[in-house]
Structure formats: C-alpha cells, structure tokens
C-alpha cells in the first residue's frame, strides 16, 4: 500500500502530547491523519489533517470515526474497545489490536495475565471495592504498607497510592482495585519493545527512571540505565517475553523493578508511545514515534540504538500555580548545548500537569545528568 502523499488515512484516538509528537513523524512522511479527542483545545488539533471532537469512550463516536480511516491506532488506553472490535471485524486495521488492549486496560486482568504467562510480577490481590480491601486489612490478610491501584482509569501516578496506615485510605475512590506487595527495588527500569505485523521485533536500550517523591511522576528518564550489562540483558529478555505473550503490534513500554538481588519484576505495560521513550527523539537513530508508525504500517523497523547518552526531564506544572501557562527561564536553558525543550501545547497549567519535556544529549551520561539537574532547577512552569 502507498502510505506517502496518497489517499491513505491514519486515524489516531486521543489528541494529547503523544499524538502531537506522532504527528511530527506523519508530517515528515506526508501521511494523512485524522484525530479524535474530547477536548477542543487538544495539542493534536493543529497538526492533523482532520480533527474531530468527541468522547473516546462512546461506542458510536469511536465507531463512526474509525469507519473513515484505513488504519487506526491510539495514544491513550481509555477508549471504547467494543467499537474497536467491531471496526476490526469489518476490515479496519487496528494496532495494537483490541484483544491486546483488553488484556492491558484493566490492571487486575493485566496482573492475572502475567501470572498465567509465568512473567515475574509482585504478589497482589484483587478486590471488587474499597470496603472489601479494608476488611482484608482489618483481618490482617493484607499487611501494610502495600500499593493500592485502581484497576481502571489510572494515569501519570493517578489511581496509585502507597497505603501505610488507616489514614491513607482517606480520599480513595470506591472502585475495583488491587493491593500489591511493595517490591524492595533499587531501580525502576523500562524497555520499549516494537513489533510489526510481519513479526519483526526490536527492543530499545533499558532506561532508568527517577521519580518525584510526592507526585509519583517520573522526573528523569536516563538512557542507558546505569546498571550492569547482565541485568540489562535480563530486562530486555523479559520485555521480549511480555511482548510475545501480548502478541502486540506497535510499541509496548514494559515498566519493571530491579530488586536488591538483581531480579527483574514487571510492574505494568503501556501499548503506545511512552514517557520513558521521549529521549529517543534526540538521542536515538529512530525515535519511538517514527518507530510506532513503521510498526503499525508494517514497514521495516528502524535502528533502536542511541547516538549519544540521553536524559529526559519532565516539565510539570509547579505547585501553587493554575491558569495561563508561562515557561520561566526557557531562554536560559536554550542557551545550553545539547538541550532541547518540547512544549506540548496545553495552554492551561495546574500543579503536576505534564506540560512538556526537555531532552539533554551528551557523550557522557554523568555530564548529561548534571545538565539535567541544572535544567530542572532553572525552568519553571508557572502561570501569569
């Protein structure tokens, strides 16, 4: 099929920053794009050939949108799977497939899937509601501290909380959830696996993630991870095993823990471009966004090696600021070598909202990390 400068139409469900960065690649290749998003101010609005406003969870909206395109993909998991299944049955190519998405959307099902496929993961128990969980804690079937996760609807640290005492339950929604044993880990790692329908498969280098202590959001993504080669190989092998089990097409970001005795434990996955792969725009031969396109269109996959060490710093709304966004000291960081900011196009900031990211590339990982700290301390996302 001719995808380039043709009548071919690629549909993207979700018009956020991931979609916006994907559109940079579709524009490079002159591929026509249709985007659906609930917000009239979605970052993708300016970059797509056609933009539609509507709910991603509404069957008819998703189905009618999908009927207009040749291949359908998504940049967010919270979409109507039944509509995707119907579209697929009518010959529209949907990647990753509705079957893959279904296994991943519910975190309880995702955990059950790991157990069924002998993939190492933290011990857990599922609960239908908050009351059942509290009862299990009272009866000491579940010991604190543990990690509470809502099975559906979580993102960017929302829907996840460490429960250390009875007070920790305050403010939690009464939804289906899992209680997960806390893993004593020394590193949080991630591997992006990419696969096309012909079965070609590649992994990106292992990255290491440093988290914000309060917001449960990634502050730095470091590539390559500062871990022994043997641990790195193990992480890539497990990521491949996860990918094969899900039989996904496109990108699969596999988040993991490295324990004190060098075991790799899978935390969760995302079947789409991912925060842990943003460094690849500047630091890799093939960015994760170009790779996602290559994969879903069944084109040859690109080289996943890095050209240099890369570190990504998330730009999130500063605490105490809401309203029209201002990026303070952005000129200062633009004066530094190897520093590239990406602004997502969200006009309104609020505390901890993801507003952009900055990539730092350098031959030396330690120097890159030092500059990343400088960048983090210089730029502030505030409101006027």
pLDDT tens for 101-151 read 999 999 999 999 999 999 999 999 999 999 999 999 999 999 999 999 999
Place of tokens 């609807």: 153
| Helix 17-29 × helix 288-296 angle, to 10° | 70
My answer on whether omega of the bond before 224 falls inside 30° of 0, hence cis, is yes
When the candidates are 1.10.150.120, 3.30.470.20, 3.40.47.10, 3.30.1360.40, the CATH number that belongs to 185-383 is 3.30.470.20
Domain boundaries, the chain: 9-94, 123-181, 185-383
Assigned token pair, 267 = 């935390």
pLDDT of residue 158: 73
Feature table: binding site? 107, 149, 180-183, 188, 267-268
Q: Do domains 9-94 and 185-383 have the same CATH topology?
A: no
Place of tokens 């990108």: 251
List the alpha helices (DSSP H) in 192-287.
229-246, 280-283
Q: Name the burial class of residue 76, with classes exposed (0-12), middle (13-18) and buried (19+) by CB atoms within 10 angstroms of its CB.
A: middle
List beta partners, residue 93.
Answer: 71
Feature table: binding site for ATP? 107, 149, 180-183, 188, 267-268
List beta partners, residue 319.
Answer: none
Assigned token pair, 49 = 């050939």
Taking all residues of the chain, what is their mean pLDDT, rounded to a whole number?
A: 95
Run of H or E including 62: helix 59-66
Backbone angles phi, psi at 194, to 5 degrees: -125, 140
Say yes or no to pLDDT of 156 above 70. Answer: no
CATH topology of domain 123-181: Dna Ligase; domain 1 (3.30.1490)
Edge-to-edge, what's the strand order for the sheet holding 32-37? 50-53, 32-37, 9-13, 71-74, 93-94
pLDDT digits (tens, 9 = 90+) for 71-94: 999 999 999 999 999 999 999 999
The answer for 27, left when phi > 0, alpha when psi is -120 to 50, beta otherwise, is alpha
**32-37 vs 9-13, strand pairing mode:** parallel
Mean pLDDT of 43-71: 97
pLDDT digits (tens, 9 = 90+) for 292-320: 999 999 999 999 999 999 999 999 999 99
pLDDT digits (tens, 9 = 90+) for 161-189: 999 998 999 889 999 999 999 999 999 99
CATH topology of domain 9-94: Rossmann fold (3.40.50)
């Amino acid at each position: 099929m001719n995808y380039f400068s043709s009548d071919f139409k690629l549909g993207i469900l979700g018009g956020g920053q991931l979609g916006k960065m994907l559109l940079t690649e579709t524009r490079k290749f002159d591929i026509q794009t249709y985007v659906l998003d609930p917000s009239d101010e979605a970052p993708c609005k300016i970059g797509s050939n056609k933009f539609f406003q509507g709910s991603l969870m509404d069957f008819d909206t998703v189905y009618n949108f999908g009927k207009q395109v040749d291949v359908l993909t998504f940049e967010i998991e919270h979409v109507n799977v039944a509509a995707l299944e119907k579209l697929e049955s009518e010959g529209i190519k949907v990647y990753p497939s509705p079957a893959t998405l279904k296994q991943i959307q519910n975190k309880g099902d995702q955990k059950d899937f790991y157990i069924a496929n002998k993939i190492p993961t933290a011990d857990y128990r599922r609960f239908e509601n908050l009351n059942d969980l509290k009862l299990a804690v009272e009866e000491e079937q579940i010991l604190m501290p543990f990690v509470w996760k809502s099975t559906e609807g979580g993102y960017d640290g929302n829907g996840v909380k460490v429960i250390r005492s009875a007070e920790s339950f305050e403010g939690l929604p009464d939804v289906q959830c899992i209680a997960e044993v806390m893993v004593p880990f020394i590193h949080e790692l991630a591997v992006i696996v990419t696969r096309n329908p012909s079965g070609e498969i590649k992994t990106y280098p292992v990255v290491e993630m440093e988290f914000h202590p309060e917001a449960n959001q990634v502050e730095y993504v470091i590539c390559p991870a500062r871990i022994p080669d043997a641990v790195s190989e193990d992480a890539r092998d497990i990521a491949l095993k996860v990918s094969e089990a899900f039989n996904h097409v496109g990108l699969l970001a596999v988040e993991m823990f490295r324990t004190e005795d060098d075991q790799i434990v899978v935390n969760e996955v995302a079947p789409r471009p991912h925060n842990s792969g943003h460094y690849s725009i500047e630091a890799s031969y093939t960015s994760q966004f170009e790779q996602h396109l290559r994969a879903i269109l069944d084109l040859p996959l690109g080289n996943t090696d890095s050209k240099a060490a890369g570190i990504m710093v998330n730009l999130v709304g500063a605490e105490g600021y809401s309203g029209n966004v201002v990026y303070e000291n952005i000129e200062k960081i633009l004066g530094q070598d190897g520093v590239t900011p990406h602004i997502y196009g969200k006009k309104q900031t609020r505390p901890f909202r993801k507003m952009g990211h900055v990539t730092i590339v350098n031959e030396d990982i330690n120097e890159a990390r030092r500059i990343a700290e400088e960048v983090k301390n210089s730029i502030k996302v505030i409101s006027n």
